[in-house]
């Protein structure tokens, strides 16, 4: 089993200028010294400095308004940001951008937010939002239940990973040509690209089938975090009984499996350049607003 090293709490400076905390961390992108983190029950995103672990994160608003404090009401209204994708530079975004994705598990969770980056990898403050309803509706026709947890780019294609649960335990990869998908996102009058669907086979952890919770492309294939959450549907959370790292090849076949030593609900991963080579960072969702999410590191055996 792979041990986790705790690096820091995800404390943030709130919009009111007070110190608060990010709790439900659900996606992570590392660009140079910046760590961009989304949370599934917030209308903001947080940015941290990797080299300054005691410095609180800075918030960037993604959507207007306020969410209820009460747990059930907040769950109904939250955007459920579950995946964060770095987008390559283009004439419109010369230094690249980030795309945050809702899970698509309810009508309220079918949107994306595009955040522009500057030359250093920091956010510029320019945010645009888009509806993903037509795309998620097309993807839903191919699945029992859609619940997007990870998005990554590979070989010119965008890959959406929809996680399973105990009733529908199969995680799936939905993929299409990225340039055509991005053209549709910016102009909904354009046609959606053709979608392909591939089912994933993952082991069980403590008698619960694991599901992908985030992913990042590798030179050959891709790496994912996987969690075993004891829940029977895509809406209700359940206790996390195990977590692992999973490696897939180009055809989405499982070729590596490393359980973590603690049943931490890991929902985001990213590589950074460490002193002795690439270092894998992870963030978690404690499923409790009173508990701060944390940043972890883990060393892969290969």
pLDDT tens figures, 257-277: 999 999 999 999 999 987 777
Average pLDDT over residues 163-182: 87
Domain boundaries, the chain: 5-298
Mean pLDDT of the chain: 93
Q: Is residue 233 over pLDDT 60?
A: no
Domain covering 5-298, topology? Neuraminidase (2.120.10)
Q: Which among 200, 101, 78 is positioned nearest to 152, based on CA atoms?
A: 101
pLDDT cut 90: percent of the chain above it? 80
pTM for the structure as a whole = 0.94
What are the pLDDT digits (tens) for 42-96?
999 999 999 999 999 999 999 999 999 888 899 899 999 999 999 999 999 999 9
Q: Is residue 234 over pLDDT 60?
A: no
Give the model's pLDDT for residue 230. Answer: 76
Q: Is residue 224 over pLDDT 80?
A: yes
Residue 278 to residue 156: CA distance in whole angstroms: 24
Q: Which residues of 13-39 are buried (b: 16+ CB within 10 A; e: fewer)?
A: eeeeeeebbbbbbbbbbbbeebbbbbb
CB atoms within 10 A of CB 159: 22
Give the model's pLDDT for residue 232. Answer: 57
């Amino acid at each position: 089993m792979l041990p986790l090293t705790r690096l820091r709490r995800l404390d943030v400076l709130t919009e009111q200028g007070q110190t608060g905390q990010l709790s439900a961390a659900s996606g992570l992108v590392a660009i140079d010294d910046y760590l961009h983190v989304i949370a599934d029950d917030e209308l903001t995103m947080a940015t941290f400095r990797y080299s300054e672990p005691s410095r609180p994160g800075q918030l960037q608003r993604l959507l207007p308004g306020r969410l209820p404090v009460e747990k059930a009401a907040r769950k109904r209204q939250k955007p459920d940001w579950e995946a964060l994708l770095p987008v390559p530079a283009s004439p419109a975004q010369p230094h690249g951008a980030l795309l945050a994705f809702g899970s698509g598990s309810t009508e309220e969770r079918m949107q994306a937010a595009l955040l522009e980056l500057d030359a250093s990898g920091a956010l510029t403050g320019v945010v645009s939002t888009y509806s993903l309803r037509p795309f998620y509706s097309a993807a839903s026709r191919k699945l029992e239940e859609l619940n997007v947890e990870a998005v990554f780019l590979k070989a010119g294609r965008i890959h959406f990973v929809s996680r399973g649960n105990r009733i529908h335990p199969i995680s799936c990869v939905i993929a299409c040509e990225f340039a055509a998908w991005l053209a549709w996102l910016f102009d909904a009058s354009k046609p959606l690209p053709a979608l392909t669907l591939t089912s994933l086979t993952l082991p069980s952890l403590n008698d619960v089938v694991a599901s992908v919770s985030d992913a990042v492309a590798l030179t050959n294939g891709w790496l994912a975090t996987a969690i075993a959450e004891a829940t029977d549907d895509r809406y209700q959370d359940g206790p996390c009984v195990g977590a692992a790292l999973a490696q897939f090849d180009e055809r989405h076949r499982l070729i590596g499996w490393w359980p973590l030593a603690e049943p931490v609900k890991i929902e985001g991963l990213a590589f950074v350049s460490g002193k002795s080579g690439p270092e894998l960072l992870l963030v978690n969702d404690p499923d409790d607003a009173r508990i701060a999410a944390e940043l972890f590191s883990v060393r892969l055996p290969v």
